[in-house]
Structure 1
């Protein structure tokens, strides 16, 4: 019997559909095949729920607070995935903790490493004492000979990457094995792993005789049809939905079979836009419907909000409800389970939560003493990531890029082709940065990005027609991968496509009545750079914000990375006498940054994105930090100028014998836009203050571009004349017309756009 092994279940379904009414070989995905191949003697593999319980037992006596995790069970369950992913990748790449310890770059994380090592040892010992094994604790294993001996030949189709462990399993197989793979500009890591002596050409499909490591067959891949790839850009993300509808229609009008047309969504959340405008029900959704949209989830979420939210609206929503009355009687885990049985749910909702409920009950021993509100919160966390199987009846499939592996299409549309979305890597790097990964021989971030690029490259190769769209505005940029593919950026086309999803039968209502009011600058001649910018960008926004005092209530959020970096650099400057090298400066800044990070995700982002950038900053800044006196750190600098009191909060002032350096840290990755912004007078405000305080010193105004690891010196002299003109004009009239801006794009993220009728 022959065995075929594919990357995805979708490939298997396609194979079955193409070979109807024939005797089929055995069909498996790579994961299923390897699980059947690997046998751990006298061990049973632990299930997902039980492994979390054992891991929680393993952390008893361990200070996991140093890893950024709370020790409460409910919090630990939410964050345990980071620990498992860390060990899973180490196991898959056959890398020991000692190998990581050998990396000098891990010195800053020695406590992390020691704690993780202790947790792993405890976890493995607990499993072994119970006769169990986990995919991260497999030691000696043997092949499942009875499983393999039924096959006369195995054909394995690789669309991606093989880990060292997977390669090791395949090397033990004696059954004739043919490995089918392709070579592209983006999958060199896979080719290296295969151990082929021959140098392989790019853009070919190969069949490898695995045991002999010899190429049995080869064929060129389809040419990437760049002339048949349409590219479009939009200022508003939602307008991509119109582009999708239009492109799918074009493909089908040109002869494409609907079943062979797909929409690729790098962020599955975009599917909700398509569902909103898919009036004809042409699409089916491989990812289903998010469970958070279900009536069952909303009832429980509303209950939780009513019990925890101070807002009257949340409490009023559940006042007198049957669910609230029943929950009030919950006094423990058992009664909470009884309460859940009374919450109304549809058959599809019950089907979705069935397995989650089974696992939740397995946690009973650790949840017996939790408060009812904590139990409700834990249950909501467990079900919020579920999906309801609701693919719809359409023939055009909406899917993620991983599901497209190995498939051929008549036409595809890819949305959200933006930087930080395409390519996008997983969160497994929480405890390991790229330097450590390279030292230990593990896939680096760049190699993981190349794997993602390979998926998109193969998708485009396997498609007769393709269309790509992305968001292009002040906040979003197209992916650099677009240029690597040899494609050009497009101009924004919102006006052209907007009418497809938002046709207007009547002219929109305009809220542009003139508002004339007192000249605030006469009674309170005080300006900060942000106040001045608000007035210059949109006087109406200034009117609502400062004259009317309308404050938009913002939800509490954890401090963003930029704020944390500013705080860490301020501390570093204040403690500069402690540093004898740039390395000690960098170590201090990173320690301060990690201590203030509010979540594992933030620490992951710091480790992956910002540690190397701050390393470059500290190396370049160390001499300046020690050679100058820091006379201002995160301080307001007031000055009287042109009849106004100007004040700005400066990040750092370095005072030398003959020079004053005015420094503003920037963590944005679009520094050029900041420099070119004609309404940003922040550096000039700094200069005016410095000229009044240090009249005999040369003054330098600069941005420290931390994202780009460079200093950007800015000449503020040209701004001075314009500022004088602006200040003079602001004092000329007793009353001012606070008009709305003509630049509608400035309204996109404005808190007052609804009041102006520009939220459509």
Structure 2
């Protein structure tokens, strides 16, 4: 229940706007944004927060003083290059402060000295930059400062409800925990597979995925929890270019307006999509909440043609005259100019090393980052991803749903490798990806209807983590920017259902599901699989090899076994001379296999071939047959034979589909047999591939098995290359 003595804190201003809409003119309780909340309730003794432009100019000055050492950021001696280097340093230093780490911490862990020279330069720059701030009694942010909590701000507040959509830094966790000692503070958040790790600081081991929580932060008590997992149909549209996505977005906006729909939005991961949309939005249906590009204004276009003034005073006067001349957007540009020149005036004595041309370049680069509010737009808002945190929609379209757009990280994110980041306690690239996934996951869950579009070509791929969010229906859109009267696209039949609870999986059936749900549906649910007409050699290989190994169990002799194996193969009833010739080529290629077996059995013993198992893995039933198992001491070695020419172990990824060796290993472990290793014998090219990432793949398997639950839309695979040898290609119109 809302109370006037409560304080409500939200992660974004858009979420605050949504909250206020509930009152419709009634008295609303006190509300703050998260950033405002933290900056209002802490005090840094004898210091004040550095204004944005002061802070940037001091960092730029520090970097400029290092003009003879460029090995870190690899730029030339132009002033613009220093500006670009400053962006890297800003992000990197902020990341250090958020993690409350020092560059010395990295140096200790850098055992291979990969970053030694870079870190030394960074340390010098950071220390000199901090010294400059100290001289002006300024600080960058409160994360790395000695702070006190200003409790008077909460004098008339009985309870604080903090709605978190994202993560808290270590300092923010600490501040909330301290406030909770004296004031009732309730933390509201949605827990899912992508952000669960971020709540370890609560020390609550019972947190579950897809559950909304209200936590009393004082005693770490769960006040309320409600399950909110809802599988929904997400419509996905692939396009060859971003321009084609614009046609789709404009069409969808028109449909919304015709239907009188409200609470709808277009979501874009990167703001550069807006420039395409604005060109073709001739009816002004969109309202660009992300802001208008300053480069489109007459003010900017005239500024870049201006000659440079001789000093800062005359430069400022020219800027003021220019702003008065261009009345449109005057207030926002005026505010920007006031902040810029006010900042420079505070550090007047420190900027003498810069020429007026340098200052002009600095002004221009900062100006280009200014977004102008667009109040002339239509009814359909266009939001950046972060702006949607905490919001709920009736219908959304998400464009640019490609890995490269969703996970577009800065150079500072890539600077330190994952190993060092893990050991020092800084966010890894995977952590950042999971945070982005969390935002999208919550947006999709909090929207009643979701459509996505993405570019699909050789370089760009749709973000496959969507498979864990909802049931994806791939659809066609055949209209262009110049034709909105085209025939409606043909709609295929949908195959929707549930996998029976007693269904028994195999490694191959699971792989079919992950690669093509439609193939799985036809093959296993409808049992339409054709009888295979395999080459006789391959269909007999396992049986003959099993016979040979069992005959020599306890007295392994690869020389005699090879001879017997070859005799049995040559005795097969081949259909023609081509098959017989192919068998001879195969036997020749297998000579390396038998030579390797001689060395292999020096420290191994044969255990069993064609080993059958039935087991349960993460709640799912599995059956299978392992080609061969050997023993090394008390541990077991799993061997799988493959006949292809380009056999590879599938790389670790959240979208991987082949878990054969993982399933075999877990099956043996369930029987109490400790597995020493798993490997593939590639028979055609005499290779041995050893599975090095078994534990990581076990974790991915556990996550992916959740896709088998609930109602499933058995869609066709996206990659037509999978259809080339598929028995059901004709049923999918892909033959």
The TM-score range, normalised by the shorter chain, is 0.5 to 0.7
- Hey, what's the Cα distance between the residues in 2 that align with 1:203 and 1:46? 40
Structure 1 residues 354 and 75, CA gap change in structure 2 (3 angstroms): farther
Q: Among 266, 271, 274, which residue is 1:268 paired with?
A: 271
Cross-structure match for 1:446: 430
Cross-structure match for 2:51: 47
- Hey, what's the Cα distance between the residues in 2 that align with 1:71 and 1:369? 14
Output aligned runs, 1:212-223, within 5 Å: 212-221=219-228, 223=230
Do structure 1's residue 185 and structure 2's residue 193 form an aligned pair?
Answer: yes
Q: Among 209, 217, 225, which residue is 2:216 paired with?
A: 209
- Hey, what's the Cα distance between the residues in 1 that align with 2:44 and 2:328? 37
Cross-structure match for 2:137: 131
Do structure 1's residue 351 and structure 2's residue 331 form an aligned pair?
Answer: yes
User: Do 2:63 and 2:86's aligned partners in 1 also have CA atoms closer than 8 Å?
Assistant: no
Do structure 1's residue 224 and structure 2's residue 227 form an aligned pair?
Answer: no
User: Do 2:265 and 2:396's aligned partners in 1 also have CA atoms closer than 8 Å?
Assistant: yes
User: Do 1:154 and 1:178's aligned partners in 2 also have CA atoms closer than 8 Å?
Assistant: yes
Counterpart secondary structure, 1:178: strand
Structure 1 residues 355 and 502, CA gap change in structure 2 (3 angstroms): farther
Q: CA deviation at 1:492?
A: 6.2
User: Do 1:332 and 1:369's aligned partners in 2 also have CA atoms closer than 8 Å?
Assistant: no
User: Do 2:49 and 2:139's aligned partners in 1 also have CA atoms closer than 8 Å?
Assistant: yes
Output aligned runs, 1:391-410, within 5 Å: 391-410=375-394
Q: Among 18, 24, 27, which residue is 2:22 paired with?
A: 18
User: Do 2:235 and 2:474's aligned partners in 1 also have CA atoms closer than 8 Å?
Assistant: no
- Hey, what's the Cα distance between the residues in 1 that align with 2:354 and 2:101? 39
For structure 2, the residue ranges without an aligned partner over 5 or more in a row are 488-684, 686-735
Backbone CA RMSD of aligned residues: 3.0
Q: Among 383, 386, 396, which residue is 2:367 paired with?
A: 383
- Hey, what's the Cα distance between the residues in 2 that align with 1:71 and 1:212? 56
Q: CA deviation at 1:487?
A: 4.9
Q: Among 317, 322, 336, which residue is 2:315 paired with?
A: 336
Q: When the two structures are aligned, how many residues end up with a matched partner? A: 476
- Hey, what's the Cα distance between the residues in 2 that align with 1:491 and 1:206? 36
Counterpart secondary structure, 2:37: helix
Larger mean Cα displacement after TM superposition, 138-147 or 363-372: 363-372
- Hey, what's the Cα distance between the residues in 2 that align with 1:262 and 1:49? 34
TM superposition score normalised by structure 1: 0.58
Cross-structure match for 2:113: 107
- Hey, what's the Cα distance between the residues in 2 that align with 1:272 and 1:503? 26
Cross-structure match for 1:148: 154
Q: String of CA shifts for 1:525-574, please: whole Å, max 9, x gaps.
A: xxxxxxxxxxxxxxxxxxxxxxxxxxxxxxxxxxxxxxxxxxxxxxxxxx
Q: Among 239, 261, 269, which residue is 1:257 paired with?
A: 261
For structure 1, the residue ranges without an aligned partner over 5 or more in a row are 304-322, 505-699, 701-760
- Hey, what's the Cα distance between the residues in 1 that align with 2:134 and 2:77? 24
Cross-structure match for 2:730: none
Q: CA deviation at 1:84?
A: 2.3
Q: CA deviation at 1:373?
A: 4.9
Output aligned runs, 1:60-71, within 5 Å: 62=66, 64-68=69-73
TM superposition score normalised by structure 2: 0.60
Q: String of CA shifts for 1:685-723, please: whole Å, max 9, x gaps.
A: xxxxxxxxxxxxxxx9xxxxxxxxxxxxxxxxxxxxxxx
Q: CA deviation at 1:73?
A: 6.0
Q: Which has the larger radius of gyration?
A: 2
Output aligned runs, 1:620-635, within 5 Å: none
Do structure 1's residue 34 and structure 2's residue 38 form an aligned pair?
Answer: yes
- Hey, what's the Cα distance between the residues in 2 that align with 1:501 and 1:374? 50
- Hey, what's the Cα distance between the residues in 2 that align with 1:464 and 1:171? 35
Output aligned runs, 1:497-508, within 5 Å: 497-500=480-483
Cross-structure match for 1:285: 288
Do structure 1's residue 242 and structure 2's residue 225 form an aligned pair?
Answer: no
- Hey, what's the Cα distance between the residues in 2 that align with 1:426 and 1:498? 33
User: Do 1:39 and 1:143's aligned partners in 2 also have CA atoms closer than 8 Å?
Assistant: yes
Cross-structure match for 2:11: 7
Structure 1 residues 144 and 371, CA gap change in structure 2 (3 angstroms): closer
Q: CA deviation at 1:54?
A: 3.1
Q: CA deviation at 1:18?
A: 1.4
Structure 1 residues 136 and 170, CA gap change in structure 2 (3 angstroms): closer
Q: CA deviation at 1:41?
A: 1.6
Q: CA deviation at 1:152?
A: 0.7
User: Do 2:238 and 2:454's aligned partners in 1 also have CA atoms closer than 8 Å?
Assistant: yes
Structure 1 residues 485 and 219, CA gap change in structure 2 (3 angstroms): closer
Q: CA deviation at 1:140?
A: 2.0
- Hey, what's the Cα distance between the residues in 1 that align with 2:176 and 2:105? 24
- Hey, what's the Cα distance between the residues in 2 that align with 1:392 and 1:42? 45
Do structure 1's residue 423 and structure 2's residue 407 form an aligned pair?
Answer: yes
User: Do 1:425 and 1:449's aligned partners in 2 also have CA atoms closer than 8 Å?
Assistant: no
Structure 1 residues 56 and 220, CA gap change in structure 2 (3 angstroms): same
Larger mean Cα displacement after TM superposition, 282-291 or 120-129: 120-129
Cross-structure match for 1:168: 174
User: Do 2:240 and 2:455's aligned partners in 1 also have CA atoms closer than 8 Å?
Assistant: yes
- Hey, what's the Cα distance between the residues in 2 that align with 1:339 and 1:83? 31
- Hey, what's the Cα distance between the residues in 2 that align with 1:164 and 1:375? 36
